[in-house]
Amino acid sequence: MKRFLHVLINIAVANTSTFFLWSALSFWLYLETHSVLILSILSGTFMTLVTLSGMFFGTIVDKHRKKEVIAISSIVALIFLLLAGSVFLFFDRKEIADISSSAFWIFSLSILLSALVSNLRSIALSTTVSILVPKEDYARANGMVGMVQGVGMIANTVFSGLVIGRLGLEWAMYITIILSGLALLHLLFVPIPEDYLHHDPEVLNKQVDFKGAIKAIRSVPGLMALIFFTTFNNFIGGVIMVLLDPYGLEMFSVEMWGIVLGITGTGFIFGGMAITKKGLGKQPLRTLLYGYVIGSLICLLFTVREWAWLFLAGIFLYMFFVPFIEAAEQTIIQTVVPKIKQGRVFGFAQTVESAATPVSSYLIGPIAQFSIIPFMESDAGKQTFGWLLGEGNARGIALTFVLAGLFMLLLSLLAFRTRAYHRLSESFKKSN
């Protein structure tokens, strides 16, 4: 467990620093352009690349030692960060914020790709749980992952808002590059013993092993359904990814919005602590689906009035339940899938799950920007939905959240009635 904690902290620092810059970029671009569409395009592009790279990353994890994978991903991420820093030094700020300029795309894609490479570290981290932690402690270890992610989110959001508001984007870049370099240096002294592990011979000569992933998944009744269940959460995640910052920045200054996200981000910590202490129960799959139902209700309700306390309570509760969803999925896969195949299964899961997010991101941004928001600013929109959403500056965004939450709730409730849900529950009991 001590070795796992060292790996967890190292990856947390590296990933947090990278996503700190991604958050700072989102804040800075919205303040420069006030365009939901730009954030939608970037978020959708990021999740599309996550979808396309998931199986490739998972195959890499299964083919190589986990420490080597983490180290290489950290080096590549640092190279992209240095490239972004170079663009920022040589181009004008207005040009970087202009979506039609090459500087915008080189700068934004460099930061985006550094964040993308962080997903390789995350897949490797999920496989180290079954290497370093006893089976009975998988759920608690995954709870610790959620707790540490919560700490990272708080540092991310609080400091990105404060840095953008007080110091500027260049300081966000300097901080990220320094922390990424320190994490890479620390990794040299973190042991991950894998001498006793034998790599699957089926994967050694393959760049992307879809066949091996599908074979491992089909060997467990109901596991494919679990992976598709988890796309539900990513649908809501895509909506929140695009619209949460614009909604928050309409209510708060950028400095205060960073603090608000930091405070509500403690939900991740408390959720992870609850899992670490109590576990996920005897049926993690049921816990997973209950998490979807609760997340849907939150999305339905937390913006029905432009009240700060309602908005903050909703974000906090959503953050609290996300670790339960993620830890449940990881615990099930770690329990029912052999260690030598977990990288590909996690990679395939990431590919399928994340596919929902770019779809919702690409759709929601344009729909909200050109249809729902103008409609809610019109007299017809106010008369139609004013009884439900009240008055305020961001009622169009609020209506988008309500519609997404309603759709998600119906899917989540239907999942409980599927045959696959019961088959996977039985598979988990037998493996455990």
Select from 18, 269, 20 the least CA-distant residue to 159. 20
Q: Do 24 and 169 touch, CB atoms closer than 8 A?
A: yes
| Helix, strand counts (H, E) of the chain | 19, 0
What six digits make up the tokens of 247? 């909604």
H or E segment to which residue 144 belongs: helix 138-166
- Which CATH number applies to 2-187+208-431? 1.20.1250.20
pLDDT at 313: 92
Pull the structure tokens for residue 421. Answer: 């849900």
Q: Tell me the domain boundaries of the chain.
A: 2-187+208-431
Residues 6 or more apart whose CB falls under 8 angstroms from that of 362 comprise 40, 41, 44
pLDDT of 104 above 60: yes
Say how many CA atoms lie within 13 Å of 161 toward its Cβ: 20
69: which 2 tokens?
């994978």
Q: How many Å apart are CA 365 and CA 386, to the nearest integer?
A: 22
CA distance 432 to 424: 12
d(CA 339, CA 330): 13
pLDDT band at 79 (very low <50, low <70, confident <90, very high): very high
Percentage of the residues of the chain whose pLDDT score is greater than 70: 89
Token pair 């309603």: residue? 406
Reading the block at residue 104, the tokens are 């915008």
Q: Comparing 232 with 134, which gets the higher pLDDT? A: 134
Q: Tell me the pTM.
A: 0.69
The answer on pLDDT for 269 being more than 60 is yes
Q: How far apart, in whole angstroms, are the C-alpha atoms of residue 257 and residue 239?
A: 18
Give the pLDDT score at 280.
Answer: 78
Q: Over the stretch 52-72, which tens digit does the pLDDT of each residue have?
A: 787 788 788 877 788 888 888
| 366 neighbors 40 (Cβ within 8 angstroms) | yes
Encode pLDDT of 136-170 as tens digits: 777 888 788 777 776 776 776 677 777 877 788 78
Cα separation of 294 and 318, whole Å? 8
